[in-house]
């Protein structure tokens, strides 16, 4: 189904430089719509921000203006860069971007190259991007930053060294600045660059599965959640977790019973859809579903899946046990046969994944690294 949605924003009054806002600047929060997929022919209305969106299997996408050019970037709390496909890429790479738009630095009157600076990123699936770094005006739903540093991709690679396609132009990295890839000196992330212009150095997310959600910058929207907030510490400086939205020592359970499986570190990476857990956690959970396969996390279609509980060892505030509906794990369903889920099995660090994100309104605090969440208001 195609849904027409409007961006509901406050206008952000941007200062001419990043160092500090002018004294007359009024700090305001901003809200931008987030979509599961943007069709090739979508357009942003410059006045209302309206776009058409429908559901696809990828991540959440923001309509973004860079130098006045409409682009579509996925929201990625697991990385710390903004980069975009561009006309600097070879033509055969440009044709693999299915959004229908890529960034053209020569068409922007506000673009500036950062001489001697480059970016380079590699991802777990073997894909990556690299190119020169530049500055331009970046506008996400009214959150406007002049001279925002970002990567201008001139070389794109796909996993396994093969071919592929991208249904976004790149990411908006909302991880911590220590992981920014621009060199020789890392640059501010979008949130770090935005901090002088918003009331608080936080952002909130309300992601949806089959309709548009949103990101709000600079404030927590108390109208979007119900019940008590759970606030957990983020171990973004711990060994192996630098710059990531990771909390440590998480256990799992169901129906009030905690699984005997060992605790794991849990990442909150919106760029990864899967709810990733250890084999022991998967075995314990799927033992509750007759006929299921714990190794592949598949189940007999039509089954009712039990709720999954996340058990945090300690919290800054709120309950230590948080539940998500078992139905959130389903990746489609049918009346017969075997059905897939959003859960998968990993060794090492896990990931909260789509089933968690679509259940909770989440407040991401970068200044005092913590994450708060409560049930979304539907």
Which residue ranges form the domains of the chain, and what is each CATH number? 3-217 (2.40.70.10), 223-376 (2.40.70.10)
Label residues 205-239 b or e (16+ Cβ within 10 Å = b).
Answer: bbbbbeebbbbbbbbbeeebbeeebbbbbbbbeee
Phi, psi of 139 (to 5 degrees): -130, 115
DSSP, residue by residue, 319-337: -SEEEE-GGGGBSS--SSS
| C-beta atoms surrounding 328 within 10 Å | 21
- Distance (Å, whole) CA 305 – CA 327: 6
The token duo for 14 is 């941007």
pLDDT for res 236 = 93
* R_g of the chain, CA atoms, integer Å: 21
Gap between the terminal Cα atoms of the chain: 19
Q: Which residues contact 94 (CB under 8 A, 6 or more apart)?
A: 85, 87, 102
**Tens-digit pLDDT profile for the chain (378 aa)?**
222 222 222 222 222 233 333 434 567 777 777 755 443 334 333 333 323 222 345 678 888 999 999 999 999 999 999 999 999 999 999 999 998 899 999 999 999 999 999 999 998 888 999 999 999 999 998 889 999 999 999 999 998 777 888 889 999 999 999 999 999 999 999 999 999 989 999 999 999 887 778 899 999 999 999 999 999 999 999 888 999 999 999 999 999 999 999 999 999 999 888 999 999 999 999 999 999 999 999 999 999 999 999 999 999 999 999 999 999 999 988 888 999 999 999 999 999 999 999 999 999 999 899 999 999 997
The token duo for 232 is 């957990």
Q: Which of 204, 230, 206 is nearest to 377 (CA)?
A: 206
Taking phi over 0 as left and psi of -120 to 50 as alpha, with beta for the rest, 265 belongs to beta
| Cβ(76)–Cβ(174) below 8 Å | yes
pLDDT for res 162 = 75
Q: Which of 51, 65, 63, 56 is nearest to 37 (CA)?
A: 56
330: which strand partners?
Answer: 341
């Amino acid at each position: 189904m195609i849904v027409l949605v409007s961006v509901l924003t406050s206008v952000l009054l941007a200062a001419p430089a990043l160092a500090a806002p002018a004294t007359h600047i009024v700090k305001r929060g901003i809200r931008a719509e987030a979509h599961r997929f943007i069709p090739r022919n979508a357009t942003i209305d410059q006045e209302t921000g309206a776009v058409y969106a429908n559901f696809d299997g990828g991540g959440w996408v923001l309509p973004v203006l860079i130098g006045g050019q409409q682009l579509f970037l996925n929201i990625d709390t697991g990385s710390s860069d903004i980069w975009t496909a561009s006309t600097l890429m070879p033509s055969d790479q440009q044709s693999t971007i299915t959004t229908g738009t890529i960034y053209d630095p020569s068409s922007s009157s506000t673009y500036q190259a950062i001489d001697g600076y480059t970016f380079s990123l590699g991802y777990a699936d073997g894909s990556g991007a690299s190119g020169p770094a530049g500055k331009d005006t970046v506008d996400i739903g009214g959150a406007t930053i002049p001279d925002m540093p970002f990567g201008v991709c001139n070389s794109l690679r796909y996993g396994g060294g093969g071919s592929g396609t991208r249904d976004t132009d790149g990411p908006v990295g909302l991880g911590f600045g220590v992981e920014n890839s621009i060199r020789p000196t890392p640059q501010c992330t979008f949130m770090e660059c935005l901090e002088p212009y918003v009331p608080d150095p936080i952002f909130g997310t309300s992601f949806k599965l089959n309709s548009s959600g949103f990101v709000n910058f600079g404030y927590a929207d108390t109208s979007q959640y119900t019940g008590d907030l759970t606030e957990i510490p983020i171990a973004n400086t711990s060994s192996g977790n630098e710059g990531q939205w990771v909390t440590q020592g998480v256990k799992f359970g169901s129906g009030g019973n905690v699984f005997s499986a060992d605790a794991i570190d849990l990442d909150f990476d919106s760029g990864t859809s899967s709810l990733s857990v250890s084999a022991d956690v998967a075995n314990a959970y799927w033992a509750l579903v007759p006929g299921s396969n714990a190794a592949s996390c598949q189940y007999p279609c039509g089954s009712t899946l039990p709720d999954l509980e996340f058990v945090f060892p300690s919290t800054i505030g709120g309950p230590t046990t948080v539940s998500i509906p078992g139905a959130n794990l389903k990746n489609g369903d049918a009346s017969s046969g075997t059905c897939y889920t959003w859960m998968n099995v990993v060794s090492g660090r896990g990931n909260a994944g789509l089933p968690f994100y679509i259940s909770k309104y989440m407040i991401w605090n970068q200044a005092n690294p913590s994450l708060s969440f409560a049930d979304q208001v539907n």
